[in-house]
Amino acid sequence: MSLGADLLALQDLDLELERTTKELQELPILSELAKKRATYAKLKSESTKILARRKDAEIAVGDLDDAERSCHEKIAGIQNKQATLTDYRSVQDLEIELSLLAKRLDKIAFDRPAAEKSLEDIKQKEDQLTGYIKRFEQAILSDAKTAREEAEVLQGRIEASRQKRERLASKLPADTLQKYEQTSRRFKGIAVERLEGKIPSVCRTVLQTASMDQLRHASDIAECPYCHRILVLNEGE
């Protein structure tokens, strides 16, 4: 291949490398995965909150159980004492105490359904959330696998292009390669243009007769008098 053809091939490889690298960085599944991970983090924090609410609801029901047990114990104690008492005042005191305990038991019985319903509701929500989180974990795992596979394909392509580029670059004279790389940086990757008739393929400025005459004396490549890119005059095999 001519020097000009090599330079054009090098530019094609560089552009392809840039495209593929960008494609790899912007894989749609990666942003999808990032979104899912963010949602997952929210779900986990929701799950921490609901766990705390469930514990509170359990404590509320537990407190009712304790209070009820304590009332029953007291009642049993009083009933034992009653059997041994004979004087009226003491019996009356115990009866007042018994009636207070009965009221307390009524209150506990009244509060219980709401406390139990609340615990039941929270448990149900917790179960739903746990199931949802589990499905999310599965989806994230499967997306991560797909992302890895898609990335591997692109990385393979990048690696192959890189090797080709290395081989091609090592064939070029050092000063030509240096000029290409400088020009490429300056023109964001489009360093080389072809001369098509009198018109360079990138800047599209028709060359004057004087410029054409000068170029006739050049070898395979020259510098475009207008945009200063590398101008390929001869691409011949």
Site of interaction with Zn ion (CB under 5 A): 200, 203, 224, 226-227, 229
**Rounded to the nearest 5 degrees, what angle is found at the Cα of 125, between the Cα atoms of 120 and 130?**
125
| Cβ nearer to Zn ion, comparing 115 with 232 | 232
| Cβ nearer to Zn ion, comparing 119 with 224 | 224
**Least gap, CB of 205 to Zn ion (angstroms):** 6
Query: How many C-beta neighbours within 10 Å does residue 57 have?
Result: 19
| Cβ nearer to Zn ion, comparing 122 with 229 | 229
Q: Is the dihedral of CA 118, 121, 125, 126 positive or negative?
A: positive
Alpha helices (H) in 85-173, listed in sequence order: 88-171
| Cβ nearer to Zn ion, comparing 29 with 202 | 202
**Least gap, CB of 193 to Zn ion (angstroms):** 5
| Cβ nearer to Zn ion, comparing 85 with 203 | 203
Query: How many C-beta neighbours within 10 Å does residue 155 have?
Result: 13
**Least gap, CB of 168 to Zn ion (angstroms):** 23
3-state secondary structure of 232: strand
Helix axes 3-25, 88-171, angle to 10 degrees: 180
Chain-centroid distance of CA 202 in Å reads 40
**Least gap, CB of 8 to Zn ion (angstroms):** 14
CB 165 within 8 A of CB 13: yes
**Least gap, CB of 185 to Zn ion (angstroms):** 17
